[in-house]
């Protein structure tokens, strides 16, 4: 029969490991928003994971799955790079999209998923629904 102290130590180690894993899982802001992964897409976070975690909890950042859906709804092409950064107290997804071998740069408000800016060669051809560019919340450039 094992000694009670050995059993208690084993239980304490198991509980401590579980609590440590749960804490890391819930406080990793980067993993929290990156709920989907797309092959060939490079991800960069300008802010640390604690800042991102708080912004997600407060509703300032929508998860990647919703951002990808918004981009698929708005634009043709393949996302090759995603950056998330805070700019003047607004969280912004900065994307690079490959469309017909042209790189299109796009910014989306991470909270509302509204397109803020789009630029690049032939970017107008990448826009779905042929919306007038003046309806975008921001500006566009060629």
Say which DSSP state 59 is in.
T
Q: Supply the range of the domain harboring residue 34.
A: 4-140
Between 130 and 50, where is the model more confident?
50
State the average pLDDT over residues 95-117: 97
Cα four-point dihedral sign 12, 14, 19, 24: positive
In tens, the pLDDT along 2-27 reads 444 443 343 333 334 333 323 444 45
Q: State the total domains in the chain.
A: 1
> CATH code at 30?
3.10.450.40
Say which DSSP state 127 is in.
B
In tens, the pLDDT along 81-98 reads 999 999 888 999 999 999
pLDDT score, position 20: 34
What pTM did the predictor assign? 0.66
Q: Strands 90-99, 102-109: parallel, antiparallel or unpaired by DSSP?
A: antiparallel
């Amino acid at each position: 029969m094992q000694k009670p102290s050995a059993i208690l130590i084993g239980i304490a180690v198991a509980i401590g490991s579980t609590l440590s894993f749960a804490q890391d899982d819930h406080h990793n802001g980067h993993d929290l928003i990156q709920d989907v992964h797309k092959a060939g897409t490079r991800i960069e976070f300008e802010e640390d994971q604690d800042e991102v975690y708080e912004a997600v909890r407060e509703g300032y950042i929508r998860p990647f799955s919703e951002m990808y859906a918004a981009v698929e709804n708005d634009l043709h092409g393949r996302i090759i790079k995603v950056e998330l950064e805070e700019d003047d107290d607004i969280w912004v997804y900065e994307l690079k999209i490959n469309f017909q071998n042209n790189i299109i740069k796009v910014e989306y408000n991470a909270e509302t998923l509204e397109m803020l800016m789009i630029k690049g060669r032939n970017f107008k051809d990448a826009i779905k629904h042929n919306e007038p560019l003046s309806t975008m919340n921001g500006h566009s450039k060629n």
